[in-house]
């Protein structure tokens, strides 16, 4: 299926690894022109070189720490005509309310929650002026499958889902769509780190982390490609009537009473 994304300029944050890396590759496969954003230049350059060689598309890299309040304005100034913005940067640590310090909570939200807010403020405004554009927020299924042992993440993700729906309800008046994707368990290095912590709490042995993944839907975590395919479709003209919606991709697992089996 031709998704109609050839030569569209797409900015992907958190693009150097995991879901973001897979999203970047999926857009490159559709012939989009990419702007890859993450903190470290080295991994971005390596990814850009590989994608250029494989797909022959235009790729630029923009190393930025999106917890810096000045990062979003800089990116919007450098790339004012972005057609699709994919907000994906950020990782909120696990832990119950009493286990996550104020400093840790704030630092995590500075990147993922306030980082998303800043990027949307800059790019949504410009898209409204141009009367076109799409923003896709990669959030997290814990926004609805609320987990007391992931207090900072559940709360932050719920806020981002609310903002996605809020902007997505008004954007179509100006030709702009805002949508979200909320993955559950996805097989990344970050998931392994989280599961190791859970296994240590539950079994007293972090080496048993893979046993927790067996409690997921379909008895496995999702693959990154299963998330990136949905992101690319939602960003495309094939999904041009979708706005203010958040797609949960967790095999229905967040609707279960006991998240961890």
Complete DSSP assignment for 127-148: HHHHT-EEEEEE--GGGTS--T
How would DSSP label each residue in 239-256?
GTT--S-EEEESTTGGGS
pLDDT band at 73 (very low <50, low <70, confident <90, very high): very high
**CATH for 158:** 3.40.50.720
Longest dimension (CA), the chain: 55
pTM of the full structure: 0.89
Is 260 a residue whose pLDDT tops 50? no
Is 216 a residue whose pLDDT tops 80? no
Distance CA 36, CA 170 (A): 28
For 191, residues 6+ apart whose C-beta sits below 8 A from its C-beta are 185, 213, 221
Would you give the DSSP letter of residue 31?
T
Tell me, yes or no, whether 189 lies in a domain: no
The whole-chain average pLDDT of the chain stands at 90
Q: What's the whole-number mean pLDDT along residues 29-57?
A: 97
Q: What is the pLDDT of residue 118?
A: 98
Assess contact for 141 and 183: CB atoms under 8 A.
Answer: yes
Q: Which domain holds residue 131?
A: 9-184+222-248
Q: What is the pLDDT of residue 237?
A: 97
**Weakest mean pLDDT among 49-53, 56-60, 212-216:** 212-216
Choose among 28, 15, 225, 10: nearest CA to 136.
10
pLDDT band at 206 (very low <50, low <70, confident <90, very high): low
Q: What is the pLDDT of residue 116?
A: 97
Q: What is the pLDDT of residue 213?
A: 67
How far, in Å, are 111, 137, 152, 194 from residue 230 at the CA level? 23, 12, 26, 24
**Weakest mean pLDDT among 46-60, 89-103, 129-143, 153-167:** 89-103
Tell me, yes or no, whether 214 lies in a domain: no
**Location of structure tokens 């104020």:** 102
Tell me, yes or no, whether 257 lies in a domain: no
Domain count of the fold of the chain: 1
Tell me, yes or no, whether 58 lies in a domain: yes
Tell me, yes or no, whether 81 lies in a domain: yes
Choose among 149, 54, 157, 59: nearest CA to 113.
157
Percent of the chain with pLDDT over 90: 70
């Amino acid at each position: 299926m031709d998704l109609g994304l050839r030569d569209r300029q797409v900015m992907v944050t958190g693009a150097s690894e995991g879901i973001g890396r897979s999203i970047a590759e999926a857009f490159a496969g559709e012939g989009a022109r990419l702007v890859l954003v993450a903190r470290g230049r080295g991994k971005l350059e390596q990814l850009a070189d590989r994608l250029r060689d494989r797909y022959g598309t235009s790729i630029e890299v923009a190393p930025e720490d999106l917890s810096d309040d000045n990062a979003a304005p800089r990116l919007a100034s450098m790339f004012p005509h972005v057609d699709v913005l994919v907000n994906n940067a950020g990782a909120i640590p696990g832990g119950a309310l009493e286990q996550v310090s104020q400093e840790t909570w704030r630092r995590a939200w500075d990147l993922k929650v306030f980082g998303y807010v800043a990027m949307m403020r800059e790019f949504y405004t410009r898209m409204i002026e141009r009367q076109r554009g799409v923003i896709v927020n990669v959030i997290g299924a814990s926004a609805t499958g609320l987990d007391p042992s992931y207090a900072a993440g559940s709360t932050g993700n719920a806020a981002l889902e609310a903002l996605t729906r809020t902007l997505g309800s008004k954007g179509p008046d100006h030709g702009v769509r805002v949508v979200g994707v909320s993955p559950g368990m996805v097989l990344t290095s970050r998931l392994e780190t989280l599961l190791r912590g859970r296994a240590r709490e539950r079994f007293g042995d972090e080496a048993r982390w893979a046993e927790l993944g067996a409690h997921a839907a379909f008895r496995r975590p999702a693959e990154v490609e299963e998330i990136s395919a949905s992101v690319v479709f939602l960003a495309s003209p094939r999904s041009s009537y979708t706005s203010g919606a958040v797609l949960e991709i967790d095999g229905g697992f967040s609707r279960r009473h006991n998240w961890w089996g």
